[in-house]
Amino acid sequence: MKKKLYNQKDRSQLISELSKESFSRLTCSFYRYVSIESPNSLRDELYKEWIELNVLGRVYIAEEGINAQISVPEPNIDTFIELLNKRDSFTDMPIKYAVKEGQSFIKLVIRVKKEIVAYNIPKDEYNMNQVGIHLNANQFNKALENPEAVVVDMRNYYESEVGHFENAILPDVERSQELLPEVRTLIEHHKHKEILLYCTGGIRCEKASSYLLHHGFNNVKQLKGGIIQYAHDVKKGNIDSKFIGSNFVFDQRLEERITDDVISNCHQCGHPSDSHVDCLNQACHILFIQCESCRVKFDGCCSIECKEFAALPLKEQQVLRKNPKKVVSKTRNSVSGKPRLK
């Protein structure tokens, strides 16, 4: 009988198993734009290999490459890297390690996608063999000293809200599909200037820089390894951090603190806070910023209505969630990937 190549355990069982682990884990990420002939076959092969090493995380594979955010048991990291190196397409893969460790994932999910970054732009508007110049932390800081340079945050609004580089343009978008057209519009009149791009780990800037080069921006540069690598380099090289606040991450940690600055506010009371949470009403689960005082007041929910709904017996919640008129949720009818808390 063929082994099923996906998780079959429920959330409570997964969390229980994690709590009993006696070893440390390393949260890390990597990506590579490389031609993959059979993404589905590769997906199954990687799942078989990685599940044996107790790897957890979220991985996207497409014909254009791989994008992985994972948690690897520390005793297995060398074996994991050896397995990567055995594949010609993944040899010498640059791996970025988390700035702040913590429980990041509870299961392994590997999906085949159309793109490894969901920009949804035509293939004739970029060429991954022509991308922006990579700058390390020192070089990026030096470039920031140029008063004519245009610094662009290639992330969504809820990411840059809690942390960003000084004087950066912060696109007010909710989804990756909206990002490139918006950025192009914002900087269209700066084609002759030096464009400095940055994102979490570098992957979004790779395609974004290629897109901008295609559209006539001829001096495009990008932060190598993104904010994650920048934070490590700043700490290691005793460099001043020009990034202020926290780095939003797409796992259960939600953020990594880069500097002590708190540049955002609680979405409920307005007091300084940069703690992202998901509403504990499982029918809602909206992402928002909540201070400790409001967390206690609202029991981790985004509103009094969600607090009251989440306090109902589970069976009653399940019945009500089947009725659109009775369920309490800020996200149920939203077409947005990350709707805002009104």
As a whole number of angstroms, the distance between CA 293 and CA 296 comes to 5
- pLDDT, tens digit, 9 for 90 and up, residues 22-50: 999 999 999 999 999 999 999 999 999 99
Q: What is the pLDDT of residue 332?
A: 60
- pLDDT, tens digit, 9 for 90 and up, residues 46-101: 999 999 999 999 999 999 999 999 999 999 999 999 999 999 999 999 999 988 77
What residues in the chain have per-residue pLDDT under 50? 1, 335-336
User: Which residues 6+ apart lie within 8 Å of 306 measured at CB?
Assistant: 279, 280, 281, 283, 284, 298, 328, 329, 330
In the chain, the domains with their CATH numbers are 11-112 (3.30.70.100), 123-237 (3.40.250.10), 265-342 (no CATH)
Coil, strand or helix at 253: coil
Q: What is the pLDDT of residue 342?
A: 61
Q: What is the pLDDT of residue 99?
A: 82
Active-site entry in 199, 205, 266, 284: 199
Coil, strand or helix at 183: helix
C-alpha count within 13 angstroms, C-beta hemisphere, residue 249 = 32
For residue 66, the tally of other CB atoms under 10 A from its CB is 26
Structure tokens of 242?
């020009």
With beta carbons less than 8 A apart as the criterion, state whether 197 and 169 touch.
no
As a whole number of angstroms, the distance between CA 116 and CA 168 comes to 25
Is residue 199 part of the annotated active site? The answer reads yes
Q: What is the pLDDT of residue 1?
A: 43
Q: What is the pLDDT of residue 330?
A: 73
Report pTM. Answer: 0.89
User: Which residues 6+ apart lie within 8 Å of 13 measured at CB?
Assistant: none
Q: Helices 203-214 and 176-187, interaxial angle, to 10°? A: 50
